[in-house]
């Protein structure tokens, strides 16, 4: 692992690091904020999974999460959204290829050799983090935005007991029924739609739900509402009687202005679960 940069922030350290990934067969980059409390021992960890076109940098710079994490004494990790490099397959469209890993394990060419983002986020990167930094593996929560909200919800529901809480900002809720999902899942996973189901948050909610507190915020002025399909998740939560909050925030769009507005509440929501 190599240190790209480390900057003092809110009494802690915001770092950027690269490491060779066996799963993605390339170097991967992530941001990690450690609060001052990490100097005295392991701290809880909140994952932030970013959306389409983003790198590790977007939420790290724009969300304002470090201030609230420092006050709560929790770490923040900002993974990249895909493998990258000249040898990594790409596409001219913004919603496929580099910057658009969709947090799945690709099985189709030309994506399969590098696009193993599900296992990277759930296995390889955790091993890197918990072996190299003062982080408490037993105290994890997860959140994300848009494509990253899809990733946060599906991963949280697929690993019972790992995450104490889950939240999402404007998540892609029902990708198997959306143009933000059907296109990418066909490319990455093939035409057999049975292989898509483990990556659909609405289908997972109907099947198993989440074993902890859940918070979803969605802007009513989001320009991508038809693609996100929040109503499908809301209906699935209600049908399952899932504990949690699904909030439609009047007038907010899909941008980081929306995320930063409610980030304090999301960090506090997770901090309550992580310190319980």
Alpha helices in the chain (DSSP H): 57-62, 65-72, 117-119, 125-132, 147-158, 179-189, 201-207, 225-228, 230-240, 256-274
Active site residues: 146, 222, 254
CA distance linking residue 154 with residue 147, whole number of Å: 11
CA distance linking residue 118 with residue 103, whole number of Å: 5
Q: What is the DSSP letter of 80?
A: -
- Asked whether the CA dihedral 112, 188, 165, 39 is positive or negative, the reply is positive
Cross-strand partners of 12: 9
Are 227 and 254 in contact by the 8 Å Cβ rule? The answer is no
Are 124 and 22 in contact by the 8 Å Cβ rule? The answer is yes
Return the number of other C-beta atoms located less than 10 Å from residue 186's C-beta: 14
**How open is the CA angle 197-145-201, to the nearest 5 degrees?**
20
Name residues whose C-beta falls within 8 Å of residue 273's C-beta, 6 or more positions apart in sequence.
141, 164, 165, 212, 213
CA distance linking residue 17 with residue 58, whole number of Å: 15
CA distance linking residue 33 with residue 64, whole number of Å: 12
How buried is 19 (Cβ within 10 angstroms: 0-12 exposed, 13-18 middle, 19+ buried)?
middle
């Amino acid at each position: 692992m190599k240190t790209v940069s480390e900057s003092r922030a809110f009494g802690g350290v915001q770092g950027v690091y690269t490491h060779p990934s066996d799963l993605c067969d390339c170097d991967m980059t992530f941001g990690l904020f450690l609060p001052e409390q990490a100097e005295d021992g392991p701290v809880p960890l909140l994952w932030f999974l970013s959306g389409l076109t983003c790198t590790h940098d977007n939420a790290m710079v724009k969300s304002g999460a470090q201030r609230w994490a420092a006050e709560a004494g929790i770490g923040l990790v900002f993974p990249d959204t895909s493998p990258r490099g000249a040898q990594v397959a790409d596409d001219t469209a913004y919603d496929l290829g580099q910057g658009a890993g969709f947090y799945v394990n690709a099985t189709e060419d030309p994506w399969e050799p590098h696009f193993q983002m599900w296992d990277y986020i759930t296995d390889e990167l955790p091993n890197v983090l918990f072996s190299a930094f003062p982080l408490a593996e037993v105290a994890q929560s997860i959140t994300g935005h848009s494509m990253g909200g899809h990733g946060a919800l599906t991963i949280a529901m697929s690993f019972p007991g790992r995450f104490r809480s889950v939240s999402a900002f404007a998540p892609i809720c029902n990708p198997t029924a959306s143009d933000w999902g059907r296109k990418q899942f066909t490319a990455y996973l093939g035409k057999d739609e049975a292989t898509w189901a483990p990556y659909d948050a609405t289908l997972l909610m109907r099947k198993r739900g989440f074993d902890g507190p859940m918070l979803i915020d969605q802007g009513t002025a989001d320009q991508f509402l038809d693609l996100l399909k929040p109503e499908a998740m809301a209906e699935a939560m209600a049908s399952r009687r899932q504990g949690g909050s699904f909030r439609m925030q009047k007038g907010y769009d899909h941008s980081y202005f929306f995320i930063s507005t409610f980030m304090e509440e999301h960090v506090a929501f997770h901090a309550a679960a992580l310190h319980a």
